[in-house]
Structure 1
Amino acid sequence: MSEIPGDLKFLKSHEWARIEDGGRVTVGISDHAQGLLGDLVYVDLPNVGDRVEAGNAAAVVESVKAASDVYSPVTGTIVEVNADLADKPETINEDAYGEGWIFVVQIEDTEQLNELLEPDDYASLLEDAD
């Protein structure tokens, strides 16, 4: 199993959230999720300015095996997207927790962060699934 960074929070659906300064939350999919999907060939990004709801689909990643929704862990407004993924979706496979981030949300309610899984809880979820 891959290392799970300690500065992240997770959804059960395998998205990660990195809390940044100023109420911004960077979102991607976990290394576990990209491994299950296989080689990614396309990413359908949200638009800057879109409003997203916690738990709702905000983006789509497609692999040679399947397409999978990427859910927003928090409610807010998309303030940035990783446009590099349009030409290099495999960046998510190569660096899921770094250069493979997908979008950034300006969070509306920081209390939502308390509902996300801590890294140890996410690791336990993965172990239970095996």
Structure 2
Amino acid sequence: MTDLNALSYTEEHEWLDIAPSTGSGTSVATIGITDFAAEKLGDVVFVELPEAGTEIAAGTVVGEIESTKSVGELYAPVTGTVVEINDAVVDDPSLVNAAPFEGGWLIKILIADDAADGLLDRAAYVALTEG
């Protein structure tokens, strides 16, 4: 089970698991949507993600999540380059609902320098969703 307190969060209901930087000084973030977002969306039936190698800027739309209730946009929480997408989620979008913090992750991004500023910790995110 993922330690939810070890993750970072965004106001757009995404979570980030930022791996410690390697010798090159760069970090990779695994990104998905939170259980709160997955519950609000309802049953996810389609996920569109950017291709590996795509350069993205924080705050821009990089994908789409469609559910039985609505269509939502996936925003880039950090600036960097997509290094991997979760093909399992593309093939079986219900993983987003079933395991949002485990098998339901969406993309991995090689983070640009200082691009992870302004993220929320678990307590701040919980306060946001309860407010």
TM-score by length of 2: 0.91
* Gap regions ≥5 residues in structure 1: none
**Residues 1:120 and 2:119 are matched in the alignment:** no
Determine the structure 1 residue equivalent to 2:9.
Answer: 10
**Aligned partners of 2:83 and 2:109 also within 8 Å:** yes
For residues 60 and 73 of structure 2, the distance between their equivalents in structure 1, rounded to whole angstroms, comes to 9
For residues 102 and 63 of structure 1, the distance between their equivalents in structure 2, rounded to whole angstroms, comes to 15
Q: Look up the equivalent residue of 1:32 and give its one-letter code.
A: F
* Gap regions ≥5 residues in structure 2: none
Alignment of 1:33-112 (within 5 A): 33-109=37-113, 111-112=114-115
Percentage of identical aligned residues: 35
For residues 89 and 130 of structure 2, the distance between their equivalents in structure 1, rounded to whole angstroms, comes to 30
4+ residue segments displaced more than 4 Å: none
Q: Deviations over 1:41-91 (max 9, x none)?
A: 000011000011111111111001111111111100000000011221000
Q: Look up the equivalent residue of 1:11 and give its one-letter code.
A: T
Q: Look up the equivalent residue of 1:104 and give its one-letter code.
A: K
For residues 3 and 60 of structure 2, the distance between their equivalents in structure 1, rounded to whole angstroms, comes to 24
Aligned length: 125
TM-score by length of 1: 0.91
Q: CA RMSD in A?
A: 1.4
Three-state SS of the structure 1 residue aligned to 2:117 is helix
Q: Choose 15-24 or 30-39, whichever is displaced more.
A: 15-24
Three-state SS of the structure 1 residue aligned to 2:5 is coil
